[in-house]
């Protein structure tokens, strides 16, 4: 039984024969190898287009910005998994990346959706200020976190977000999505009754969208970047194991309560 739509089975990414490998109609060995940086190649693979100078520069910038942030849950999960099975590097990487979600690391995807919706509403004739305030108020009334705002450590400013915005301004990248990103802080502050720092996820999404990166693939950038960071943690874990130590400290830090919250009527 077939599930989903029928039709011809095709791919435009790659084909290979005994003598050659073709990537999006270009020869891998004779053209791309030695002719593209990995960042340019990633952009080319995902979009099918050659990265321009701005696209290459900012994709490099964003990958560097989000690749590493210390002993985050992704790094901890990867280290503990590696210690449990040192012969399976790929499993440890996967364990870390599986934690890329709506709270940790994956929030640029949600920021992208917010920016796309806001731009569509403005393009349809609504006032920019009214749109961002309405979206912030709606999120607040629903008891939600507003994507791209708030951070447990970086207050009152996320230095990564500030640097991305500074460089975007310096290099003349100021499209509709970045303009909307700059408009949201005041709206979020009004809705929450206090300033919340714009975290790195919002400018990541805004820059990618303004440089024609597919909206559905915004999350790919933190995924790719954090894979590099996780591999660094695993390289360190091979010689300086702390995964099991973190696990033991976690066990010591959590009290056993019979019945848990359910037993307390929660």
35: pLDDT confidence band, cut at 50, 70 and 90? very high
- The arithmetic mean of pLDDT across residues 198-226, rounded, is 96
For 128, counting Cβ atoms within 10 Å of its Cβ (0-12 exposed, 13-18 middle, 19+ buried), the class is: middle
Sheet holding 26-27, edge to edge: 14-16, 21-23, 26-27
> What percentage of the chain reaches a pLDDT higher than 70?
98
Q: Where are the domains of the chain?
A: 15-51, 52-102+227-249, 107-217
In this prediction, residue 116 carries a pLDDT of 98
Report the pLDDT averaged over residues 90-103.
92
Q: What is the mean pLDDT of residues 50-76?
A: 96
Task: Return the HEC string of 69-131.
Answer: CCCCHHHHHHHHHHHHCCCCHHHHHHHHHCCCECCCECHHHHHHHHHHHHHHHHHCCCCHHHH
- What does the pLDDT look like over 223-234, one tens digit per residue? 999 999 999 999
Residue 266 has pLDDT above 80, yes or no: no
Q: What is the pLDDT of residue 44?
A: 97
Task: Decide if 233 contacts 92 (C-beta within 8 A).
Answer: no
Q: Are 67 and 222 in contact (CB under 8 A)?
A: no
**More confidently predicted of 65 and 103:** 65
Q: Model pTM?
A: 0.92
Q: What share of the chain has pLDDT > 90, as a percent? A: 88
pLDDT band at 201 (very low <50, low <70, confident <90, very high): very high
**Three-class SS of residue 149?**
strand
pLDDT on residue 262: 63
Report pLDDT for 20: 97
CATH class of the domain defined by 107-217: mainly alpha
Arithmetic mean of pLDDT over the chain: 94
Task: Give the per-residue pLDDT at 264.
Answer: 55
Cα 188 to Cα 104, 126, 138, 144, distances in angstroms: 20, 18, 11, 12
Pick from 5-9, 82-86, 119-123, 150-154: least confident: 5-9
Residue 106 pLDDT > 70, yes or no? yes
């Amino acid at each position: 039984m077939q599930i989903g739509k029928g039709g011809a089975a095709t791919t435009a990414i790659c084909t290979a024969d005994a003598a050659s490998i073709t990537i999006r109609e270009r020869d891998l060995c004779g053209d791309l190898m030695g002719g593209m940086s990995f960042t340019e190649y990633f952009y080319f693979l995902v979009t099918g287009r050659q990265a321009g100078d701005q696209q290459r520069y900012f994709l490099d910038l964003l990958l560097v910005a989000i690749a590493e942030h210390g002993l985050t849950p992704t790094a901890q999960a990867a280290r503990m998994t590696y210690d449990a099975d040192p012969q399976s590097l790929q499993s440890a990487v996967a364990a870390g990346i599986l934690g890329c979600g709506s709270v940790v690391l994956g929030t640029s995807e949600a920021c992208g959706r917010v920016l796309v919706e806001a731009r569509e509403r403005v393009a349809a004739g609504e006032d920019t200020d009214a749109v961002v305030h309405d979206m912030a108020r709606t999120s607040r009334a629903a008891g939600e976190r507003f994507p791209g705002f708030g951070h447990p450590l970086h207050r009152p400013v996320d230095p990564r977000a500030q640097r991305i915005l500074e460089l975007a301004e310096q290099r003349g990248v100021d499209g509709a999505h970045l303009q909307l990103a700059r408009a949201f802080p005041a709206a979020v502050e009004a809705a929450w009754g206090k300033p919340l720092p714009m975290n790195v996820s919002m400018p990541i999404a805004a820059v990618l969208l303004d440089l024609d990166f597919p909206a559905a693939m915004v999350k790919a950038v933190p995924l790719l970047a954090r894979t590099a960071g996780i591999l660094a943690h695993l390289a360190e874990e091979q010689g300086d194991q702390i995964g099991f130590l973190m696990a033991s400290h976690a066990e010591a830090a959590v009290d056993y309560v019979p019945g848990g919250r359910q037993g307390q009527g929660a």
